[in-house]
Chain A
Amino acid sequence: MVTIGHYLVLSSVLFAIGAGGVLLRRNGIATLLGIELMLNAANVAFVAFAKQHGNLEGQVVVFFVMAVAAAEVAVGLALLVAIFRRLQSIDVDRLSAMRW
């Protein structure tokens, strides 16, 4: 019997891996991949709670998260392409023009 605890532990592990990716990597693409992983981890938790409570509202939220994630990825990748054209690099540490 799979309990909600199983799914929530999976969700928090995936979220932590995504957060680690965002914090540890300096490659812009890897950072965006980490954000996607965190969004997906939250989706797992939403579906688990939707099943726990026996209603579908959680699944509706996941649907919206997917749509917004698609929009976020399109804009984020476009930003990366623009940054690459300007700096010839997507190392996010080199984006220091607005530092302090």
Chain B
Amino acid sequence: MELWVFYLAAAAAVASALVAVTHRNPVINVLALIVTFFCVAVNFALMGADFLAGAQVLIYAGAILVLFLFVVMLLGAPTVSAEENPRPIQKTLGAFLAALVAAAGFFFFRGFSGEGLASPHAGVTTHALGRLLVGPHLFAFELVSVVLLAALIGALVLVKRKH
């Protein structure tokens, strides 16, 4: 049962990821990536990471990709999709490098197959995760809030029109 859910989610994730990077219409790219992120959330839930599965849906599918959609609409989808064909050298070299990444990942990770995963964490992990965040990782946690504030101000400054 678990295996079938995994295969279904993984196949949907890979298929929608392929659509997300190959389709010429940016709106379809973004919507396909939302499907991918939902499938990744399913995989998180399968691995017992319930908080991260929720955060994935809320932050990635809910916030980040909606931001993408807003920008696609703002820039005008027809203008954006008027992309010339990639140059032949870019096409072959890019495909070769991506295949190299895939091969490297496959051969590196092949050594890990065969080992079964540890049994899922008992109950929900949200409580333990929260303890870790405000305990040993408190400094990084606070630092992330500063990073988010800096990004907020940076984005505002970058898009501000000069009068």
A95 an interface residue at 8 Å Cβ cutoff? no
- How many A-B pairs have beta carbons closer than 8 Å: the answer is 251
- Contact indicator per residue, chain B 71-114, by CB within 8 Å of chain A (1) or not (0): 11011000111011010001101110111011011101110111
Q: Cβ of A78 and Cβ of B112 under 8 Å apart? A: no
- For B79, the chain A residues whose CB sits under 8 A away are 88-89
- For A34, the chain B residues whose CB sits under 8 A away are 21
Q: Do A5 and B128 contact each other (CB < 8 Å), given the known contacts A34-B21, A64-B144, A80-B71? A: no
CB distance from B108 to the nearest CB of A (A): 8
Q: Cβ of A7 and Cβ of B21 under 8 Å apart? A: no
Interface magnitude class on chain A:
35 or more
Look across to chain B and name the residue whose beta carbon is closest to the beta carbon of A34: B21
A3 an interface residue at 8 Å Cβ cutoff? yes
Q: Do A37 and B26 contact each other (CB < 8 Å), given the known contacts A2-B6, A77-B68, A81-B75? A: no
Q: Cβ of A73 and Cβ of B48 under 8 Å apart? A: no
- Rounded to whole angstroms, the CA-CA distance of A80 and B60 in the bound complex is 19
Q: Do A25 and B3 contact each other (CB < 8 Å), given the known contacts A8-B109, A8-B112, A52-B115? A: no
- Contact indicator per residue, chain A 25-38, by CB within 8 Å of chain B (1) or not (0): 11101101110110
- Contact indicator per residue, chain A 44-84, by CB within 8 Å of chain B (1) or not (0): 10011011111011011011101111111111011111101
Question: Which of A's residues lie within 8 Å of B, judged by CB?
Answer: 1-21, 23-27, 29-30, 32-34, 36-37, 40, 43-44, 47-48, 50-54, 56-57, 59-60, 62-64, 66-75, 77-82, 84, 88-91
- Chosen A-B contacts, 27 in total, with CB atoms closer than 8 Å, are A3-B113, A5-B113, A8-B112, A11-B109, A17-B21, A17-B98, A20-B21, A20-B94, A23-B98, A24-B86, A24-B95, A30-B26, A40-B40, A50-B49, A54-B118, A57-B132, A60-B129, A67-B144, A69-B60, A69-B64, A70-B148, A71-B147, A71-B150, A73-B67, A77-B68, A80-B75, A82-B158
